């Protein structure tokens, strides 16, 4: 068997580097060429790009596991803090974001994506279609229903499909479309906010961040309501209770609208800082605009699904 010393000598003579171990580390008091940008430095971190100077202990399992633990605990802490502020302190995340206090919270888009995942997971559990909107709804209950029926009938004849065959394909396709297109409502609502808060002049991104936080909360609220209704149905069956309030569509709708309006009022007040009367009037108008944004989202969702099914 060849001696390891002979192998090292052979590699040095032929100029072939070994991949079995990292290259020897320089002394801490010597200059080091940064492996990332090539800058020579002696400090613990490269002054040019911030790359850390490696030491022997950086290759230990203990250091590796410690870094992994710090990353996970920091992420979980930010996640918990962000969700707590989003739910209990309307508008605080937006205000903190523009004050520059961003390290302690998830980025607005990250938080929205998490809430989106939670929402569609709850939708699959409860078999509800709050934002997915099946074909029967598009062809019968929405402002674009007449156009939708005409297009669907023409497509059925063109492809020689029955309504049930086309409906099953459409409803299966719209599930995936809704998961990606739900974010379309955010920039649309931000445009509405810019019209309502054009004085003093604000950046569009301010309204965009507010919209991300608002719709993140709304997704969580709808998910929580759907899960609550499902649990109430099971409790009613098991214990034979009369939970008439949770079974009433009018009561559930009133409760949802009240929660949304209250949250929006507090969030607008905390973020934009206007008087309570002016904010309340704008809140009422924005709530109506929210319904319009949802209808526009469903209109877009129908056509993206129609042309891809």
H-state helical runs in the chain: 4-14, 61-88, 92-98, 108-126, 135-140, 145-159, 163-181, 185-196, 204-239, 244-247, 249-272, 276-306
Q: Do both 51 and 135 map to the same domain?
A: no
Please report whether residue 70 resides in a domain: no
Write down the pLDDT at residue 242: 63
* Domains in the chain, number: 2
Beta carbons within 8 Å of 103's beta carbon, 6+ residues apart: none
Domain that holds residue 101: 78-306
Q: Among 221, 222, 244, which residue's Cα sits nearest to residue 233?
A: 244
Is residue 53 located within the same domain as residue 124?
A: no
> Does 204 reside within a domain?
yes
pLDDT of 188 > 70? The answer is: yes
pLDDT in tens, 199-217: 778 899 999 999 999 999 9
Asked whether residue 176 is domain-assigned, the answer is: yes
Same domain, 121 and 31: no
Which pLDDT tens digit goes with each residue over 25-52? Answer: 555 555 677 777 877 766 777 877 767 7
Report the distance separating Cα 289 and Cα 278, nearest Å: 16
| pTM greater than 0.85 (yes/no) | no
The span from the CA of 54 to the CA of 59, in Å, is 8
Q: Are 214 and 151 in contact (CB under 8 A)?
A: no
Residue 189 lies in a domain: yes
The pLDDT tens digits for 264-309 are: 999 999 999 899 999 999 999 998 888 888 889 999 999 999 998 8
84 and 32 inside one domain: no
Q: Is the residue at 216 inside a domain? A: yes
Over residues 91-117, the pLDDT tens digits come to 999 999 988 888 888 899 999 999 999
Chain-centre distance for alpha carbon 248: 31
* Model pLDDT for residues 234-273, shown as the tens digit of each residue: 777 766 666 555 555 667 777 888 898 899 999 999 999 8
Do 256 and 146 lie in one domain? The reply is yes
Residue-level pLDDT at 234: 73
> Does 213 share its domain with 274?
yes
**Token pair belonging to 126:** 């409860």
Band (54; pLDDT cuts 50, 70, 90) = low
Instruction: Pull the structure tokens for residue 218.
Output: 């709304």
Burial class (CB in 10 A: 0-12, 13-18, 19+), 167: middle
Residue 15 pLDDT greater than 60, yes or no: no
Is 17 within a domain? no
Please report whether residue 6 resides in a domain.
Answer: no
Q: Do 88 and 38 share a domain, yes or no? A: no
Residue 217 is encoded by which pair of tokens? 């909360």
């Amino acid at each position: 068997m060849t001696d390891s010393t002979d192998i090292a000598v052979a590699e040095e003579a032929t100029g072939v580097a070994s991949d079995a171990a990292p290259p020897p580390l320089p002394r801490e008091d010597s200059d080091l060429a940064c492996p990332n940008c090539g800058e020579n430095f002696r400090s613990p971190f490269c002054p040019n790009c911030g790359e850390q100077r490696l030491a022997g202990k950086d290759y230990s399992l203990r250091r590796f596991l410690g870094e992994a633990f710090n990353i996970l605990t920091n992420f979980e802490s930010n996640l918990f803090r962000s969700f707590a502020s989003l739910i209990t302190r309307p508008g605080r995340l937006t205000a903190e974001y523009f004050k520059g206090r961003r390290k302690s919270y998830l980025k607005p888009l990250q938080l929205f994506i998490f809430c989106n995942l939670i929402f569609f997971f709850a939708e699959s559990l409860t078999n509800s279609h709050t934002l997915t909107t099946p074909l029967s709804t598009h062809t019968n209950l929405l402002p674009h229903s007449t156009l939708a029926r005409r297009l669907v009938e023409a497509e059925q004849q063109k492809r020689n499909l029955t309504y049930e065959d086309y409906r099953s394909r459409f409803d299966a396709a719209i599930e995936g479309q809704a998961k990606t297109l739900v974010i379309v409502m955010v920039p649309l609502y931000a445009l509405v906010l810019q019209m309502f808060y054009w004085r003093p002049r604000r950046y569009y991104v301010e309204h965009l961040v507010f919209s991300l936080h608002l719709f993140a909360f709304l997704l969580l609220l709808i998910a929580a309501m759907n899960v609550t209704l499902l649990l109430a149905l099971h409790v009613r069956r098991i214990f034979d209770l009369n939970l008439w309030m949770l079974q009433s569509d009018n009561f559930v709708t009133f409760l949802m609208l009240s929660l949304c309006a209250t949250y929006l009022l507090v969030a607008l007040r905390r973020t934009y800082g206007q008087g309570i009367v002016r904010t309340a009037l704008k809140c009422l108008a924005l709530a109506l605009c929210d319904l319009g944004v949802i209808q526009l989202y469903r209109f877009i969702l129908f056509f993206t699904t129609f042309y891809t099914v």
